[in-house]
Structure 1
Amino acid sequence: MPPKQPAYIPSVRARRLARWLSDYRLQAGLSQDSVTARLGWSQAKLSHIERGRNKATPTDVTLLLDMYGVVTPEREAVIDLAEKADQRGWWTGYADVFSSPYVALEDEAAFIGDWAPQIVPGLLQTPDYTRAIMRAGNLEQTSAKEIERRLQARMARQAILTRSEDAPRLHVILDESAIRKTIGGPKIMREQLRRLVSDADRPNVTIQVLPASVGEHPGLDGAFIILKFAAEEDPDVASTEGLHGVVYLEDQRLVTRCNVAFERLRELALDPQESVALIGATAEQ
């Protein structure tokens, strides 16, 4: 079966708006129940707005700001954010493929830190490598046409790295096993490794390899990604992905743990030059 299509994929702006509205309500000393009772809303509507799960329309936002006593200039800034928060991104063309808000967050990230202990991350995959992974994980017997559709979506994601403006910085730390595991056969794997060497030349891409000689390390629990944003008011987000889908870590204590773990992995890994040399040598073996 194709992934369940999400009703709403919140952008970073939408998540910021949700936080602001929650903060204003608390500053006004109002409970969710009292607000919804006065507006005639369901409690679920306000809860979902404050958690970024539902759209907050400019009209809804205006009603809330009136109740919370928010005045100019903050008022105009919040309403302006509400009007821009739902701007369509490139991913809406693949709404039949994406089932989580990750792509919206990734699209607006200024920095992406990716600890990849098993496979090359999607942003750096070749089409053949991606296709091999998707076929191997096709436990639901998805059609070849659907796999190709998902492949197109993943390739479209990679365009963020070559944007002329605001391209994110990508820092990938690969476990050595990820470059030695043959995915799709020797030829496909060789092409993938050569692609990594080429991508490492990009000014916004850093690739490191954690050598097999490293014993215990803070990445043993599995892969994770850290997203950082340009605006200081937008907190970091960490995510993990497995058979059961994507799990988001927004509790800042947990996100901090991921940041500390990533920094430690960076220190343990080969430096970028040594890493690229190892990847290149592996490709020619």
Structure 2
Amino acid sequence: MGITILDLTRVLDLYEVEDDKRKPLFGLARTARTRGWWDAYADSVPSDYATYIELEADASFIRSYDALAVNGLLQTADYAQEIIRAALMGLSPPGEVKRRVEVRLTRQKLFALEDGPLRLWAVIDESVLTRVVGSHVIMAAQCAALLAAAELPNVTIQVLPLASGAHPASAGPFSIMEFREPYDPDVVYVESMTSSLYVESDADIYRYTLAFDHLRASAMAPDESKSLIARVADRFSC
């Protein structure tokens, strides 16, 4: 059954556990909860990815910077298939690619939860829109999906123009997750080709938060971003 963050906090207070020893325990408490829908894909989803999906399912607000591809929560099926197939480099059978696409699309149901849909604030590098993934048809459909998502009240999309130059997130993409439980500390997720990093230090989270604030300040306003995405979609449709 696991333990709630509130109950764990009470136990830690009782035993006067120091703050620097609490965060790993909070992480264990999250992963000890009941099984989720993603467990059905255990044979196709690496453990690091499963951990991220579980954290994402518990999140109430995600701020993300995406410099290489459209955020997975905003991808179409065709776009996701091309991205996943390229990442696996032909080392996995088509069936696994299909299951991973299913996982990615299932994650998007978080936007429609009745008891509090996920809020997403995504800053997307302009190069993501112009990099052709699959075909012009796939890119046109992906741009249309971004425009549709941007109309949701719980989704904000901004495009960081190439002309903005150097910025604090030049090291790469990241996501800042805030959780529904007030006792759950924020987590920053950073993904690499072979592993994932979960940043939980208050000082490091502050730096990522500050970096995201710089990014959204340098990015186009949401309405301007939608206009740019619409123009890119038109070019791909020609």
TM-score of the superposition, structure 2-length normalised? 0.87
- Counterpart AA for 1:24: L
Partner of 1:61: none
Q: Is 1:282 matched with 2:232?
A: yes
Provide the C-alpha distance between the structure 2 equivalents of 1:103 and 1:155, rounded to a whole number of angstroms. Answer: 12
Provide the C-alpha distance between the structure 2 equivalents of 1:260 and 1:156, rounded to a whole number of angstroms. Answer: 31
Shift of 1:20: 5.0
Partner of 1:94: 41
Superposed CA deviations along residues 84-118 of structure 1, whole A, max 9, x for unmatched, are x6233222222232412111111111101110011
SS in 2 for 1:115: strand
Shift of 1:138: 1.4
Task: Spell out the pairing of 1:1-285 with structure 2 (5 A cutoff).
Answer: 21-26=11-16, 50=25, 52-53=27-28, 86-96=33-43, 97-100=45-48, 101-139=51-89, 141-285=91-235
Superposed CA deviations along residues 49-71 of structure 1, whole A, max 9, x for unmatched, are 83644899xxxxxxxxxxxxxxx
- Counterpart AA for 2:33: D
User: Which structure ranks higher in relative contact order (CA pairs < 8 Å, sequence separation ≥ 6)?
Assistant: 2
What value does the CA root-mean-square deviation take over the aligned residues? 2.7
The answer (yes or no) to whether the contact 2:62–2:177 under 8 Å persists in 1 is yes
- Counterpart AA for 2:25: E
Superposed CA deviations along residues 247-267 of structure 1, whole A, max 9, x for unmatched, are 100111111111111111111
Partner of 1:60: none
Superposed CA deviations along residues 140-188 of structure 1, whole A, max 9, x for unmatched, are 6100011111111111111111112211110100000011111011111
- Residue-pair matches, total: 230
Identical amino acids, percent of aligned pairs: 35
- Counterpart AA for 2:203: R
- Counterpart AA for 1:26: E
The answer (yes or no) to whether the contact 2:26–2:184 under 8 Å persists in 1 is no
Superposed CA deviations along residues 201-243 of structure 1, whole A, max 9, x for unmatched, are 1111100000110011111110000001233321111011110
TM-score of the superposition, structure 1-length normalised? 0.74
- Counterpart AA for 1:50: L
The answer (yes or no) to whether the contact 1:175–1:209 under 8 Å persists in 2 is yes
Provide the C-alpha distance between the structure 2 equivalents of 1:225 and 1:251, rounded to a whole number of angstroms. Answer: 15
Structure 2: state its 5+ residue gaps: none
